């Protein structure tokens, strides 16, 4: 079971669904298209409010001409040890100026959520039972030191992210 979590808590009735060969958006659901399908749809229509899922090997810069038409970008974490989606989120926020929702999908683990938040991810499709339990209890792990600047600035004095701007 997948639950959508934001810093304000779990979200009910989220309309976005990652489409696959077996799963298609129906009724009030909205599809998160792969990057090629999104570009094809955007090129043949004037639709806005679209959603896309970026896989680790995708070039997120391909979205730049379409960002104003996107409501949500989902960045895929196929495995906990594949961190390319952290870079995708950072590029979207800091270099491309994307201000709408960025969602982590895939292998979202509780200890990575604070790091994902710092990179600009603001919603999470959580399937891990431990992560769901800890998030429902409000037990988000903290990070005591930050060494790099990110999309979300550090708020504590122990961090160094204020020393330089990327």
Work out the average pLDDT over 144-159. Answer: 55
Q: Residue 5 in 3-state DSSP?
A: strand
Taking only the tens place, the pLDDT of each residue in 71-89 is 999 999 998 888 899 999 9
Token couple for 51: 């959603």
What is the pLDDT, as a whole number, of residue 157? 46
pTM: 0.85
Query: How far from each other are the two terminal CA atoms of the chain, in whole angstroms?
Result: 38
Give residue 98's Cα distance to chain centre. Answer: 12
List, in order of start, the domains of the chain with CATH numbers: 3-163 (3.40.50)
User: Cβ of 134: how many Cβ atoms within 10 Å?
Assistant: 17
The answer to whether the beta carbons of residues 100 and 71 sit under 8 Å apart is yes
Is the pLDDT at 2 greater than 90? The verdict is no
């Amino acid at each position: 079971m997948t639950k959508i979590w934001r810093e304000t808590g779990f979200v009910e009735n989220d309309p976005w669904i990652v489409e696959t060969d077996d799963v298609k958006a129906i009724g009030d659901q909205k599809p998160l298209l792969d990057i090629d399908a999104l570009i094809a749809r955007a090129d043949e229509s004037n639709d806005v409010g679209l959603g896309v899922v970026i896989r680790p090997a995708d070039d997120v810069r391909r979205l730049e001409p379409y960002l104003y038409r996107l409501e949500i970008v989902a960045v895929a974490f196929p495995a906990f040890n594949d961190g390319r989606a952290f870079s995708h989120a950072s590029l979207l926020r800091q270099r491309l100026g994307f201000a709408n929702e960025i969602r982590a999908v895939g292998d979202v683990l509780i200890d990575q959520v604070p790091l994902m938040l710092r990179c600009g991810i603001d919603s999470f499709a959580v399937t891990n039972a431990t992560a769901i339990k800890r998030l429902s209890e409000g037990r988000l792990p903290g990070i005591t030191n930050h060494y790099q600047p990110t999309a979300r600035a550090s708020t504590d004095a122990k961090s160094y992210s204020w020393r330089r701007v990327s």
